[in-house]
Structure 1
Amino acid sequence: SPDNMGLLDPATSDGRVIFFLPWEKMTIAGTTDSPTDVTSHPIPTEEDINFILSEVRNYLGADVEVRRGDVLAAWSGIRPLVTDPSSKDTQSISRNHVVNISDSGLITIAGGKWTTYRAMARDTIDAAVQEHNLKADSCRTMGLQLEGAQDWSPTLYIRLVQDYGLESEVAQHLASTYGDKAFEVAKIAQVTGKRWPIVGKRLVSEFPYIEAEVVYGVKEYARTAVDMISRRTRLAFLNVQAAEEALPRIVDIMGKELNWCEQKKKEELEIAKKFLYYEMGYKVKTDQLTDRSEISLVPSDIERYKKRFRMFDKDKKGFITILDVQRVLESISVQIAENTLHEILNEVDLNKNGQVELNEFLQLMSAIQKGHVSGSRLAVLMKSAEEKLRRRAAIPVDRSGGGL
């Protein structure tokens, strides 16, 4: 969606509200609202995801195709609705907040949402002033600035670029996220070792989050990797796969700042991975390969993909391992960190046996063609390697610069 425009429709096919809005350079779409069992770890369902996609398609032109594979993250939450104890109708449930004053004078506020926090604060303090005859001036919450707003301006990011040598995209992100506190983040940003940008190592290449934000987050009392990927940054909400890629580095930085032992780092990594898998849509994303991705390729495509697979499976084992991938990458002078390669293969390794079998690879390519899966790093890597090997083989001997 455009950066400054969104859409909300309260009259969908079944009466639920649908919206898609620009958020953090991505598009957020929702929403569903249905009864559920109470759990500490709510999981998005494929049914809800498909409902949202189906409704969104009604508002888009024929030239825009929204596929299931375009969903980069999905989440759900449980919204507790409060019953007003002072209401005559004991069945009435409020979707807003309720301020309750007990017989002892204890003031309690319940319900509400993040977007109405100023109104909640005002109503709570007003109740306290009235109930306990406190001396007070008029409410000031509407005029109070948030932390970082005092010296913020729309052009603040330019100073970050000029004074610290940050990328423009990173500087804009820091300025909009931290306000004038962005300078505190910039001061602790690591030197990149490149000509440009001078400082600001990204956690993942396609998002403007930098390593210094992890250090700053710890100073602001972040104590878990889940907190860092979901709240201090928004990676988990924007792209669950990118969040998983960033996790090892995030845990390393937090471990150094908080003096974690290796066991603690391992625990944090596992907890965060489970959070991504169940609560942020990684499970329903990978289920697309197993539940709905029977191989439906035409014979010519099957043969083409088999040929690509055999370029990696030189020993004709029927599967490829990380060693097979490394061998091909070395032959075309491409270097990828071993832990990254493990992650790439693990995305497709449905059997979780440390190898990708031919059938798994064909399932992947079939799912990509049907739009159930997008952004597979293994598929992109193998296609790129095949093209480079073909170009190399096509160079005539008399133009190769070698031979006698």
Structure 2
Amino acid sequence: MAYRKVLKRSALVGTGAVATLFGFSQLMEYRKTQALPSRSFQLAALQDTEEFDVLIVGGGATGAGCALEAVTRNLKTALVERNDFSSGTSSRSTKLIHGGVRYLQKAIMQLDYVQYMMVKEALHERANLLEIAPHLSAPWWQLPYYWAGIKMYDLVAGVQCLKSSYALSKTKALELFPMLKKDRLVGAIVYYDGQHNDARMNLAIGLTAVRYGAAMANYTEVVHLLKRTDSETGVEKVCGARCRDVLTGQEFDVRAKCVINATGPFTDSLRKMDNQKVDNICQPSAGVHIVIPGYYR
């Protein structure tokens, strides 16, 4: 009887070991199938594909978003970025997800319905981003100016309001933030917004596009645009780009039915590759936010 129990235990242990080994092999197989293609593989895809439906120039938030949108619509999609992904504007935001208190002020003071709708849409997107990317986003708070405006901000957010704003007396404000100037200080307002990692979010979007089949390569710059003459109209049309691998210096052509300019502040540089005489349309601007240490909360 004891002998049978030992055999039974051995059988169970053996079965468990086999199941564990099988599970591990399946996990490794899954990881193989889910592995992202290397940069060299992506470069080869860019060179070997006869023609893409879409070529996107710029690997920032706009470019990665366009790539994901295109490839999930079953379009052959390519993207090139002359530096690293998120190395430009898309890693230098204020790290805030907000609806735009300034625009709400304009909507109220100037009775501007368009500004109001823009704030409403932005607050909806704030809630959406906090839901779909909780690992990259989080509720966050800061101090702005007017209690009435902030309460309106809460009202516009509706059920998607993160947390109700509130007022601080002058004494309480100085207790929490002793570095504030006492002269003419009346009080303070606390309201809640969202915070996120812009660069990681951009990279996540780009990686998702790659998983769907997009060919994307960083450190690949556009040297000049390719053009061909339309047989019917006789007009020259952009049909791709001559690209250079910044790391090796190798040049190659990427042909596409459509080229999207997603280069952000470098928009005019790419436009002038098409037409040197075109007027500039991009005017860089900058915003400033002050971030204080967490122990002041």
Which interval holds the TM-score relative to the shorter structure? under 0.3
Q: Which has the higher helix share?
A: 1
TM-score with structure 1 setting the length: 0.21
Normalized per residue, the structure richer in strand is: 2
Q: Which has the higher contact order (CA 8 A, sep 6+)?
A: 2
